[in-house]
Amino acid sequence: MKDEFSFIKSIIPNHIQQQSLRIGIGDDAAVYESDSSVDQVVCVDTMVEGIHFRKDTMEPVQIGRKALAINISDLAAMGATPRFYLTTIAVPPTWTEDHLREIYRGMSELGKQFKMDLIGGDTVSIEQSLVITVTAIGTVASGSAIKRTSARKDDIVFVTGPIGGSAAGFDLLNERTKDGHFSSNELSYVKMHQEPMPQVELGELFSQSNQRMSLNDISDGLSSEIFEIAVASNVQVILNKAHIVKLSPQLDVSLEKRVKWSLNGGEDFQLVGTTSAEQYEVLQKQAKAIGFSLFPVGVVREGKPAVFLDDGDKELPLEMGGYNHFKRG
């Protein structure tokens, strides 16, 4: 990158999507109108070269897209509608301005899909690895955000799509890199890793339903995300192994590996939630009406917070094997 200021100028969006924006990129801070009928929902997540992506696992356009997607996913997990985002980028000398523009193109394309405006950020230099931090802002009807604390005994535990696909794709990328040859089945998992799709429409459906439910998005792995719900709600969760196998990557590897990907792989960015059996049926119908589906993976019961895996014969306590930044092995 030759010049910070010309770079910033080059990434200013030409069009805005949100009518409430008063001041976007170009002043000391962004300003948007707020509305007392909604609650503001804000989150931030960072992606670091070497930890979340490498040049041989993802194209720059996919890195940008994913940096925004993982934040939109956190908004979806609260039931919010995405509105704005801010992007901070720390750039080492090994990344060209063309690469950076591709990163911003990835963000802008996904942003457009969800009617989000880029309203600010920061650009700095760094010695070694590229770091991208995105702050996302959304809104939800006042008092309707969906929390992790609302699981109750006898709830159904569900996910919104396949799980473990991102980890399977990452394994394939480690084996062959992004330029390797993949069958169309393999490529579908590689894409789950490189281009995860946040489940905004379902999040919105859940918050609009105004029913009791708990919700989380799957960044670290199903086992660890459902454990967070169990702890927050003070309940136990029993996951059904046969159900999880059905949602796991359909690749010619051992069943053990497929289950491990699904439980501990992470970066699926599907939603995991719990709600009463009655409400589950209603939500399933509403989800199908907008082209989505819910998949049952377990049940909630009373007890000291813990997660078990039921293999049909017995219940095994689940070791928390999801991704942990300070326990990578």
Ligand X SMILES: Cc1ncc(C[n+]2csc(CCOP(=O)(O)OP(=O)(O)O)c2C)c(N)n1
Ligand Y SMILES: Nc1ncnc2c1ncn2[C@@H]1O[C@H](COP(=O)(O)OP(=O)(O)O)[C@@H](O)[C@H]1O
Residue ranges for the known binding site are 28, 45, 52, 74, 104, 121-122, 148, 217, 219-220, 267, 323
269 near ligand X, rule: CB under 6 A:
no
Angle 291-18-87 from CA coordinates, rounded to 5° = 90
Q: Which residue, 223, 248, 241, 258, is CA-closest to 297? A: 241
Show binding-site residues for Mg(2+).
28, 45, 74, 122, 217, 220
Show binding-site residues for ATP.
104, 121-122, 148, 219
Q: Give the chain's length.
A: 329
44 near ligand X, rule: CB under 6 A:
no
Stretch that binds ligand X, among 16-24, 50-58, 76-84, 181-189 (CB under 6 A): 50-58
Angle 285-204-70 from CA coordinates, rounded to 5° = 120
165 near ligand X, rule: CB under 6 A:
no
Q: Give dist(CA 61, CA 104) in Å, integer.
A: 7
Contact 4, 123 (CB under 8 A): yes
Residue among 24 and 322 whose Cβ is closer to ligand Y: 322
The entry of ligand Y, ligand X, Mg ion, none near residue 54 (CB within 5 to 8 angstroms by kind) is: ligand X
Q: Give dist(CA 170, CA 176) in Å, integer.
A: 10
195 near Mg ion, rule: CB under 5 A:
no
Q: At what angle do helices 277-289 and 200-209 cross, to 10 degrees?
A: 130
List of residues contacting ligand Y (CB under 6 A): 45, 74, 219
Q: Give dist(CA 192, CA 177) in Å, integer.
A: 15
45 near Mg ion, rule: CB under 5 A:
yes
Residue among 129 and 240 whose Cβ is closer to Mg ion: 129
Residue among 167 and 251 whose Cβ is closer to ligand Y: 167
Binding site for Mg ion (CB under 5 A): 45, 74, 217, 220
